[in-house]
Amino acid sequence: MPLHAAARARVLAAVRKPHNWTRSSDRIRDAAPPAPGIRSPSAVVPSAGAGRSRRPCGAHSMDARAFARRTRRGVVRREVREAHGGEATFRRRGAPVAKEALRDEQATYVVPDANVVLHQLDVLEHRDVNCAQLDRLVICRTVAEEVRARDRRCYRRLLALVRDPARRILTLHHASPTPLPRESTNDANDRAIRDAAALVKEVCGDCILATDDADNRRKAKQAHLRALSTLELCALVEPSLSDRVCRHDDDGASSDQVYAPHLPPQELRKGVAAGTFTRGVFRATSAFRGSVGDVSIEGSNCNRALDGDEVVVERVKEAEALNEEEDDVRLNVGEDLRTSMGRVVGILKRRPVEVCGSFERSGRFRPLDRRLPRVVVEKRVKDTDTRVVVKIDGWDASSKLPRGHFVAELGKRGDQATETTCILREQGVASGPFSAGAMGCLPSPDFDVEADALRSSREDLRASVICSIDPPGCRDIDDALSCTFSDGVYHVGIHIADVTRFVESDSALDAEAKSRGTSTYLVDRRLDMLPVLLTADLCSLRANVDRLAFSAFVDVDEEGTILETRYARTVIRSRAALTYEQAQRMIDSQDDSGVGASVRRLCALARVLRRKRVDAGALALASPEVKFKLDREDQPTDVSSYQLYEANKVVEEFMLLANVCVASTLAERFPALALLRRHPAPPLERFSDFLEHASRKGFSIDASTSKSLADSLDAATDPSDPELNTLLRIAATRCMAPAAYFCCRDEQGEQRRHYGLAAPLYTHFTSPIRRYADVVVHRLLAAAINDKPLPPAYAARDASTQLGRLATDLNRLATNAQRASRRSVALHTLLFFAKKPMDRCDGRVLAVRDGRLDVLLPQFGVEASIKVDGVVKEGGLAWDDVVVRVFDRVVVRVAVAKRDEDADDAVVLGLVEPAPPRSSGESVPPRSSGEPVAKKRRT
């Protein structure tokens, strides 16, 4: 064959070779198409070859075409290029919109560029503000793709905005810009947005290009387009929206800098690689004070880092910290700055910070979160009596404080509903209704459990004696127990609600449960992870109704040794839904009924299992817990510490048993996928203050291992002071890091252990109604016993990586829910003492600071500080002939200090016994002034 004929054949073969790109129309899986021009996060374009990255794609019509190209060496290469067929088209919520219809509207549309969408979305959303002109937006395809690539969180908000039926938002499908010679990609995108604005003007008769790029505005005006900055746009359409405009920061060098400029990214990477710098997440304890790992950071050394930011820090010597002290005088940083161990030299990633608070008379915004500094906000009217939401935009090196913009008003300060809204908003706890898509995944309320059990060949346990034990009023009952005894062996059944029967993997309901992560329990309400049809009905293991369960069967001998475990999908019928108090009465009685005998067998075995765990080094820790009695208006009428029964420990013991058994099974069956829970052993130095305070009380605590710590705490008792042992356990708990979820592949050996439980492996299996981690574990366990295949997401090549990220998200969501619960308790405690102040109340000292005592009121679970004019001496705070040390008894009066414009109501304590110095008095719990302050050393 002649050479030219062979080359021609190769070219034709390359052009005709099939490729694996799919048309966009083939990727739409849902009945309702995603917003045009914006790709839903779940839609993924298959790669065109090995190593090729996935590219975002809209729901517009798009073909992938193959071309043949001859290289300089004569080699013919096949290239696949995306070609956007046809002319530019407009769509509204998926439906094409004719240009003639747009001409007939005679309306002005606003075309924002990508940076306006990324930084000014609060303006475009204009929540709570009536602005019809901003209801008409045109979102270009190139803008949507750039937003998606740069900020997924912002992209999801943009999706919701485009799909909002109350807005008349268009999406414009147009060809991707091709850079001209010597033109940057950014300039090409700017040119594309100007071309899009010109098209909108031609079709609609008028449009406004919204861009904060001065050069882009200049070029637009040269093209006879109306181009405005965000501030100019707000002034034109609705002046009140200017309060929501994000102002950009500048980190350049300046003679009047307050903070050192952050180092360039390349220097940060080199420093981390060389070990000079440390990378981590900044965790603030108050404004201008925090740490990254074991590096303590104070005052100006925080260098504009906020809680949750990913930062790079440099360790500093004591002398270096002292040398900076004079330069930091204007920041009010005192002599205790020398205790700082590091400084922030760069911020890799800012955590999006949206905070609640109120304005002071000075005009500065004061966050409710005491870990954050005050914020400079430009707003025309600043009402000091209103709770508002502010988003922190940045922090200039020349400014003492960060700056932000107004987002929304929440209501009147001090109002219970408003303050609860603040709590939920700040912690990111979802409180709205479930989406229509999620609700559409639910079964019928008259779901036939028996018929479903027969279809799925479940084990029928309805004849077994099974009961649940929960707090009074519990509606989301996700566990029940059974126990028989024969031939020296306890046959225990731990029956858990089979939530995954109703929550399919990758469904809309599953996605919403994953985004919530956990149920959140406030004093006056419960915010469920799943819809109430599941939590309080179909999944709840209520008495005398058939329910689907996932059961763990464990055979245990009389010494507490596990002989055999197995798991099965079952159908059960609980004989009784007991409260802890009712179960305790059965334990204390001689009731020989089926349920009573089963409960007493469970109690007998629980004692054996607990003793065995304690012998292995498990810790019995403590934290102050309270319960409120509310009236019909949800106002607290009484508060008391939570009463525990032995029945509580019985349930806890069998939940631990099931979780340990399931963890072992998953780690063996799926060593790279198992979702486990670890509790790291705390460094011994974390206990140093605690050991010193315990020693002054006459107790020698050995914290070298969990076993030695448990034994020491058990021995640390004083017959004349039974409350002291609980205080010691509370203090020991605060020396430890919290437990956390992790993917089994990410940790090895001892790093997988649960320190507090002395368990080599542990997970969460027993509460799938209220924890998404348990839902994941149920799916893995079903695959482990060959009951169901692994969900596609868990079988993917990057499943371990995705589960690791999920574990991180679940840890964050669990922490947020816990913080919301604690703040709800604090709010209701404040409301209670506002109506019922106390002249005398017993308290215990938990910490001694310079001029301050931190006091716990055990009866109420309340902690607050008392300002005392004393000096730190002999491990305590001394005045006159008195020395008060940690764990000492005190008597205090409790009241609520009424707020003014610059302070909120707060529970305050006044020292009664021992008598304070005359200059001392009541004080509000310590909080930062909003600018760096001197560190108060805790002794």
How do residues 406-435 score in pLDDT, each as one tens digit? Answer: 998 999 998 999 999 999 999 999 998 999
**DSSP, res 851:** T
Write the pLDDT tens digit of every residue in 852-876.
899 999 888 888 888 888 888 877 8
Write the pLDDT tens digit of every residue in 670-709.
999 999 999 999 999 889 889 999 999 999 999 999 999 9
Q: Is the model's pLDDT at 880 over the cut of 50? A: yes
Composition of the chain by helix, strand, coil, percent to 5: 35, 25, 40
C-alpha 628, offset from chain centre:
26
- Of 480, 459, 489, 477, which is closest to residue 595 (Cα–Cα)? 480
What distance in Å separates the CA atoms of residue 427 and residue 410, rounded to the nearest whole number?
Answer: 15
- Of 572, 592, 441, which is closest to residue 506 (Cα–Cα)? 441
Q: Is the model's pLDDT at 53 over the cut of 50? A: no
What distance in Å separates the CA atoms of residue 91 and residue 110, rounded to the nearest whole number?
Answer: 15
Strands 138-140 and 489-497: unpaired
Cα angle value 352/357/360 (rounded, 5°): 125
**DSSP, res 528:** -
What pLDDT is attached to residue 892?
93
Coil/strand/helix, residue 717: coil
Q: Is the model's pLDDT at 378 over the cut of 70? A: yes
Structure tokens at 524: 């006056």
- Of 530, 496, 528, 527, which is closest to residue 511 (Cα–Cα)? 530
What pLDDT is attached to residue 174?
77
Structure tokens at 69: 């190209």
Amino acid identity, position 79: E
Predicted confidence band of residue 206 (pLDDT cuts 50, 70, 90): confident
Strands 459-460 and 562-573: parallel
Neighbours of 32 (CB within 10 A): 11
Task: Point out which residues pair with 567 in neighbouring strands.
Answer: 552
Neighbours of 459 (CB within 10 A): 15
> What is the average per-residue pLDDT within 651-660?
97
Which residue has 């590091």 as its token pair?
Answer: 342
Coil/strand/helix, residue 497: strand
Structure tokens at 758: 């002395």
Predicted confidence band of residue 605 (pLDDT cuts 50, 70, 90): very high
518-532: b (≥16 Cβ within 10 Å) or e? bbbebbbeebbbbbe
What pLDDT is attached to residue 323?
43
Task: Point out which residues pair with 511 in neighbouring strands.
Answer: none
| Proportion of the chain above pLDDT 70, given as a percent | 85
Predicted confidence band of residue 294 (pLDDT cuts 50, 70, 90): confident
What distance in Å separates the CA atoms of residue 698 and residue 747, rounded to the nearest whole number?
Answer: 39
Which run of H or of E encompasses 854? Answer: strand 852-857
What distance in Å separates the CA atoms of residue 624 and residue 642, rounded to the nearest whole number?
Answer: 8
Contacts of 557 by beta carbon, 8 Å cutoff, 6+ apart: 488, 489, 490, 563
Give burial (CB, 10 Å; 0-12/13-18/19+) of 25: exposed
Domains and CATH numbers, the chain: 24-60+87-244 (3.40.50.1010), 265-349 (2.40.50.690), 436-618+631-670+763-814 (no CATH), 685-733 (no CATH), 837-913 (2.40.50.140)
Contacts of 8 by beta carbon, 8 Å cutoff, 6+ apart: none
Which residue has 């990111």 as its token pair?
Answer: 428
Contact 738, 815 (CB under 8 A): yes
Predicted confidence band of residue 71 (pLDDT cuts 50, 70, 90): low
Structure tokens at 609: 């299992």
Q: Is the model's pLDDT at 52 over the cut of 50? A: no
Between residues 612 and 256, the one the model is more confident about: 612
Contact 261, 251 (CB under 8 A): yes
What pLDDT is attached to residue 447?
94
Helix 799-835 × helix 772-784 angle, to 10°: 150
Contacts of 720 by beta carbon, 8 Å cutoff, 6+ apart: none
Amino acid identity, position 116: V
Task: Point out which residues pair with 394 in neighbouring strands.
Answer: 403
What pLDDT is attached to residue 571?
97
Cα angle value 644/649/652 (rounded, 5°): 120
> What is the average per-residue pLDDT within 161-165?
87
Contact 261, 155 (CB under 8 A): no
Contacts of 455 by beta carbon, 8 Å cutoff, 6+ apart: none
> What is the average per-residue pLDDT within 499-526?
95
> What is the average per-residue pLDDT within 399-403?
91
**DSSP, res 901:** T
> What is the average per-residue pLDDT within 587-593?
85
Q: What integer best gives the mean pLDDT of the chain? A: 83
Neighbours of 704 (CB within 10 A): 10
DSSP states along 800-816: HHHHHHHHHHHHHHHHH
Q: Is the model's pLDDT at 598 over the cut of 60? A: yes
Predicted confidence band of residue 129 (pLDDT cuts 50, 70, 90): low
Write the pLDDT tens digit of every residue in 716-769.
999 999 889 999 999 999 899 899 999 998 988 889 999 999 999 999 999 999
What pLDDT is attached to residue 335?
33
What distance in Å separates the CA atoms of residue 529 and residue 441, rounded to the nearest whole number?
Answer: 14
C-alpha 730, offset from chain centre:
25
- Of 136, 127, 180, 130, which is closest to residue 157 (Cα–Cα)? 127
Which run of H or of E encompasses 348? Answer: strand 342-349
What distance in Å separates the CA atoms of residue 365 and residue 359, rounded to the nearest whole number?
Answer: 4
Contacts of 632 by beta carbon, 8 Å cutoff, 6+ apart: none
Predicted confidence band of residue 318 (pLDDT cuts 50, 70, 90): low
What distance in Å separates the CA atoms of residue 149 and residue 58, rounded to the nearest whole number?
Answer: 13
What pLDDT is attached to residue 567?
98
Cα angle value 749/751/754 (rounded, 5°): 110
| Proportion of the chain above pLDDT 90, given as a percent | 50
Structure tokens at 17: 């070779």
What distance in Å separates the CA atoms of residue 182 and residue 754, rounded to the nearest whole number?
Answer: 58
Predicted confidence band of residue 886 (pLDDT cuts 50, 70, 90): very high
> What is the average per-residue pLDDT within 780-793?
94
What pLDDT is attached to residue 920?
55
Predicted confidence band of residue 337 (pLDDT cuts 50, 70, 90): very low
Contact 268, 346 (CB under 8 A): yes
Helix spans in 495-554 (H): 508-516, 532-533
What distance in Å separates the CA atoms of residue 315 and residue 372, rounded to the nearest whole number?
Answer: 23
Structure tokens at 644: 């525990």
What distance in Å separates the CA atoms of residue 618 and residue 706, rounded to the nearest whole number?
Answer: 7
Q: Which of 92-106, 331-345, 649-663, 778-792 has the lowest mean pLDDT?
A: 331-345
Contact 61, 24 (CB under 8 A): yes
